[in-house]
Amino acid sequence: MTSALVTFYPTPSYGQNSQNSFYNPIPITANTTVDDRLTVGDMPTGEGGFARDYRINLQAGDQVSIDLRSDEFDTMVMLIGDDGTTIVANDDSTEGGTNSLAFARITESGDYIVRVRTYAATGEGHFPWQ
C-alpha cells in the first residue's frame, strides 16, 4: 500500500497523553491576541477545509469571548473541552458578515482547545483573534 492510495485524517487526542502524539495544539494564555495564518498545511477538517488548534488553560467561572476575523476566508471558531466536547461554536457573528464571535462561561477548570477553521470547504489566509 502506498501513501498515494491512502487518505489519513488523524483524530485529535485531547487528554493528558496528547503531548505524546503528533497532534500538538499551539499553547496560548488568556487575554492573548493571536495574529496567525491558516494554510493548506494545517489540520484537514474532513469537510474540505483546514483548521488550526490552540490550547488554553481556563478556570471555572471564567467568561470567554473569542473574536475571530479574516478578510481572506469565511471563519468558524470553536471552543472544545479537554474531553472533546464542543462548548461553543460560531460561524457568522451578529454583524452579518463572515467573521466569528463566540461567548462561553467556563464551568470546569482545565485545558481547552480554541479551533480556528474555515467554514467553507476551501479557504486559507491571515486571521487575527483575541
36: domain CATH number?
2.60.120.380
Q: How far apart are CA 81 and CA 97, in angstroms?
A: 27
Q: Is 4 a member of any domain?
A: no
- Which residue has better confidence, 14 or 95? 95
pTM attached to this predicted model: 0.79
* Cell representation of residue 91: 460561524
Categorize the per-residue pLDDT at 108 as very low, low, confident or very high, splitting at 50, 70 and 90: very high
Domain total of the chain: 1
Domain span at residue 45?
Answer: 23-119
pLDDT in tens, 14-70: 444 444 457 889 999 888 888 888 888 889 888 878 899 999 999 999 999 998 888
Distance CA 53, CA 123 (A): 16
**pLDDT band per the 50, 70, 90 thresholds, residue 5:** very low
Query: Is residue 128 domain-resident?
Result: no
Q: Is residue 48 part of a domain?
A: yes
* In-domain check, residue 8: no
Of 57 and 73, which is predicted with more confidence?
57
CA–CA distance, 64 with 58 (Å, rounded to integer): 9
Q: For the CA atoms of the chain, what is the radius of gyration?
A: 15
Question: What own/partner pairs with CB < 8 Å and gap ≥ 24 does 1-4 have?
Answer: none
State the pLDDT at residue 94: 67
- Domain-embedded: residue 2: no
Q: Is residue 53 part of a domain?
A: yes
Q: What is the pLDDT of residues 75-94, one digit of tens each?
A: 889 999 999 999 999 987 76
Residues 6+ positions from 53 with CB-CB distance below 8 Å? 12, 23, 25, 26, 43, 113, 114, 115, 116
- Report CA-CA distances (Å) from 39 to 13, 73, 99, 115, 129: 21, 11, 17, 14, 16
